Amino acid sequence: MSKMKVSWSRIRGIGRKHLAGILAGVAVVVLVQFGGLEWLEYKSLDKLFELRGKRTPTVSVVIVAIDESTFAELEDQWPYPRALHGKVIRRIAEGKPLAIGVDIMFDKDSLRGPADDEALGAAIASARNVILGAAVAEDPQPFYIRTTLNAPLPVIRRGAAGMAPLNMPADADNEVRRVPLWTALEGERLPGFDVQLHALMAKAGVRVAPLPERESVLINFRGGPRTYPWVSYYRVARGEKTIPPGYWKDKIVLIGPTSEVFHDVFGTPFARGGNMPGVEIHANALETLVRGNPIREVPRPVSTALAVVAGLVGCRLVVRLRAFRALLAATGLWAILTSAAYAGFVLMDVWMRGMAGTWALVLGYGGTVVEHFVREQRERRQLSRFFSPAVVKEVVRHKEEGSLTTSRRLVTVLFSDIRGFTSLSEQLQPEQVEEMLREYLTEMTEIVYKHDGAVDKYIGDCVMALYNVPLEDPEHAVKAVRTALEFQERTLAVSKRWEDKLGIAIRNGVGINTGEAVVGTLGSTQILQYTAIGDTINLGARLESITKDYKTNIIISESTYELVKGQFVTKELGDVTVKGKSQPVKIYAVLPDNIREHPRAALEAAAVLSIAGEGRACSVLTLDISERGMALKGVPEDWVKGQTVQIRCEGGALPKPIVAEATITWRKGDQAGVTFTSLDPDSAPTVADYLSTRAK
């Protein structure tokens, strides 16, 4: 009894591990049974034809094409006189072809009278090897579908070698791939159009393959339109001498429309745009029957069984191998199956439905991967509440290896703080402070994650973010600066909402530094903190604290500047000795280069630009103004982007002059944009008041 329990337990365990593969097999069987994969299977067949490529026809078939040039050359309107069709048939018959197939319907009396029909009938009888086309029509009745044959008129068909249905049913995607060999009609089996041409060839002594014992076969297409030679109908009708004597001898001649105006064009594996004339599809079908090489389909039970096995194998690969190796193995298995299917198609004209196997492999492999992923997510859930996905990945990897170690690595650290937050907090209720802080920190965190950073911690209103951790990122410094610039933009939006709500405006400062730090997970095995420590981190915090002293929003260290120079608008601020450092540090301000995105107002006033210490000055005109800068006109060419200038603007609609220090951030012709780096205390209210009444 105990052995039986153990065995049953083991079976259940195996079943759980391979559940995804079993379900994949069941799903594929259901899809195959109800035709859920038919469209994909047919498209895969088309792809096999495309990869195999076109092949030169080996059966001598010529198409007499009623094409656009025929419409242009002949004076008669369609439908052409049947006597003209008779003339064409006589001229072809004089060349002694093996057979003539006519893909034109003659089931209605000619509009030109009985003599017109008799002329065509006489020509057909004279040729003695003409197969005429007919059409099977379906007439739905209350309890059944009545099938009738629209046959050529008796006067036309009486001398023909035969008549047969031209119909070729389309597959689920409206493409034609099969030719019916027989059509059931009122208890009789009518041979198809191409079957009758096949019989005429055999009667003429041509060696042809026996017909398959099936109702229809898959056409082994040689190519798309014009794979077989075309001769324009009008050339035969006129008896042009350019058609060589003996051209028709021992050929199969098919007469039919090729112009798209007849709506007798279809999609095929080589004509997915739906431009394959029906008469040329018959040419491909006839060659398939003559050569005896229709595309043979592997029986569905066999392909379905292979699909089920593929699903189980895909599942087994994930169970037995690591993720990457399992992926490689699954891809390799798929490549082997696909290559085998392609080889069978090209070498033996065998089509094995591959989409069922592909889907089973994907579902078996993918389902097992998902199951493993869900199980792993349970282990990560607690950590995911505190860390970004990238940090969680690093922490979990070390935890699973039992090595929660630290390492020294190059990092870029960003500190951002709301200026004057303590005094702002005193003006608000605690609930309002909490709401504002939650909104602000949420938006800042989104920006950090957007630029591949990791939020190390929140210290009140301060955000500390790390870049180049836990994964190597050569753009870490650039992404940190982009984060800082977007901080400024988003802070303005948050400030606007809170200013409208409570009359509280906020601004923030950002300090960024790059250097080596000790990075890793610190804490107990129950509570972990992924963080960085070291002098690099301390300097980043110090740089943030001095942004207000330099009246700028973003300060970066020289080490960061060296990694981002040329990619942002910067201004050297000189050397500074920060708390905790004995040696001075060179620092730079990062200026926004998108001042045109801020609300601005037209301003027509005079301004003077100057460079302190150089004695250079120029008079310019203002175009517009925003709280971050101005657009100017008439700026000399040698005043270049990145240059720091003093500006004094007055006149126009300004109640008071505006005095500021600014940096040129863009040039276009004689126009330039400047970003304010500092505004005179009396000028800031002037700018704000002006914008409040005129901003766009």
In a domain? residue 487:
yes
Tokens of 466: 């790390």
262 lies in the same domain as 306: no
Phi, psi of 367 (to 5 degrees): -60, -40
Confidence of residue 677 (pLDDT cuts 50, 70, 90): confident
| CATH number for position 542 | 3.30.70.1230
Give yes or no for a contact between 179 and 212, defined as CB atoms under 8 angstroms apart.
no
Q: Count other Cβ atoms within 10 Å, centred on residue 282.
A: 26
Give yes or no for a contact between 209 and 290, defined as CB atoms under 8 angstroms apart.
yes
Low-confidence winner among 94-98, 331-335, 359-363, 416-420 (lowest mean pLDDT): 359-363
What digits encode the pLDDT tens for the residues 237-277? 999 988 988 999 999 999 999 998 898 899 999 987 778 99
Between 187 and 445, residue with greater pLDDT: 445
In a domain? residue 45:
no
Q: Average of pLDDT values for 542-566?
A: 91
579 lies in the same domain as 659: no
Q: Average of pLDDT values for 460-466?
A: 92
Q: Average of pLDDT values for 448-463?
A: 90
Q: Cα–Cα distance between 82 and 339 in angstroms, integer?
A: 52
The predicted pLDDT at position 374 comes to 61
pLDDT-above-70 percentage for the chain: 81
**pLDDT of residue 197 exceeding 70:** yes
The predicted pLDDT at position 394 comes to 63
335 lies in the same domain as 469: no
Phi, psi of 132 (to 5 degrees): -95, 150
The predicted pLDDT at position 467 comes to 94
**pLDDT of residue 361 exceeding 80:** no
The predicted pLDDT at position 593 comes to 66
109 lies in the same domain as 198: yes
Of the candidates 97, 171, 108, which has an alpha carbon nearest to the alpha carbon of residue 134? 108
My answer on whether omega of the bond before 79 falls inside 30° of 0, hence cis, is: yes
Confidence of residue 354 (pLDDT cuts 50, 70, 90): low
Q: Cα–Cα distance between 496 and 483 in angstroms, integer?
A: 20
Between 432 and 361, residue with greater pLDDT: 432
The predicted pLDDT at position 543 comes to 95
In a domain? residue 370:
yes
Q: Average of pLDDT values for 594-599?
A: 62
For residue 166, how many C-alpha atoms fall within 13 Å in the half-sphere facing its CB? 26
**pLDDT of residue 282 exceeding 90:** yes
Residue range of the domain that includes 668 = 599-694
Of the candidates 514, 496, 497, which has an alpha carbon nearest to the alpha carbon of residue 415? 514
Q: How far is CA 365 from the centre of its chain?
A: 23
Q: Average of pLDDT values for 577-582?
A: 77
The predicted pLDDT at position 562 comes to 94
579 lies in the same domain as 621: no
Give yes or no for a contact between 57 and 228, defined as CB atoms under 8 angstroms apart.
yes
- 3-class SS at 239? coil
310 lies in the same domain as 252: no
Mean pLDDT, all residues of the chain? 83
Q: Average of pLDDT values for 311-329?
A: 63
In a domain? residue 331:
yes
What digits encode the pLDDT tens for the residues 480-516? 999 999 998 888 888 888 888 888 888 889 999 999 9
**pLDDT of residue 61 exceeding 90:** yes
In a domain? residue 131:
yes
The predicted pLDDT at position 344 comes to 85
Say if pTM beats, i.e. exceeds, 0.75: no
Q: Average of pLDDT values for 651-674?
A: 88
The predicted pLDDT at position 131 comes to 96
Between 4 and 380, residue with greater pLDDT: 380
31 lies in the same domain as 79: no
In sign, the C-alpha dihedral spanning 90, 92, 95, 96 is: negative
Confidence of residue 378 (pLDDT cuts 50, 70, 90): low
Which residues 6+ apart lie within 8 Å of 453 measured at CB?
388, 414, 465, 466, 467, 479, 480, 483
Our count of domains for the chain comes to: 4
Q: Cα–Cα distance between 63 and 624 in angstroms, integer?
A: 73
In a domain? residue 384:
no
My answer on whether omega of the bond before 470 falls inside 30° of 0, hence cis, is: yes
**pLDDT of residue 15 exceeding 60:** no
The predicted pLDDT at position 403 comes to 36
13 lies in the same domain as 66: no
In a domain? residue 54:
no
Of the candidates 80, 68, 127, 59, which has an alpha carbon nearest to the alpha carbon of residue 280? 59
341 lies in the same domain as 255: no
Low-confidence winner among 8-12, 46-50, 338-342, 670-674 (lowest mean pLDDT): 8-12
Helix H or strand E encompassing 307: helix 300-320
Confidence of residue 321 (pLDDT cuts 50, 70, 90): low
In a domain? residue 381:
no
Which residues 6+ apart lie within 8 Å of 662 measured at CB?
629, 630, 644, 645, 646, 647, 674, 675, 676, 677
CA–CA distances in Å: residue 518 to residues 530, 536, 583, 610, 625: 11, 9, 22, 47, 46
**pLDDT of residue 182 exceeding 60:** yes
Strand partners for 130: 100
**pLDDT of residue 320 exceeding 60:** no
Residue 532 carries which side chain, given as an amino acid letter? A
What digits encode the pLDDT tens for the residues 398-449? 554 433 457 899 999 999 999 888 888 888 888 888 998 999 999 999 999 8
The predicted pLDDT at position 8 comes to 47
629 lies in the same domain as 585: no
| CATH number for position 604 | 2.40.10.220
Q: Cα–Cα distance between 122 and 107 in angstroms, integer?
A: 16
291 lies in the same domain as 302: no
305 lies in the same domain as 449: no
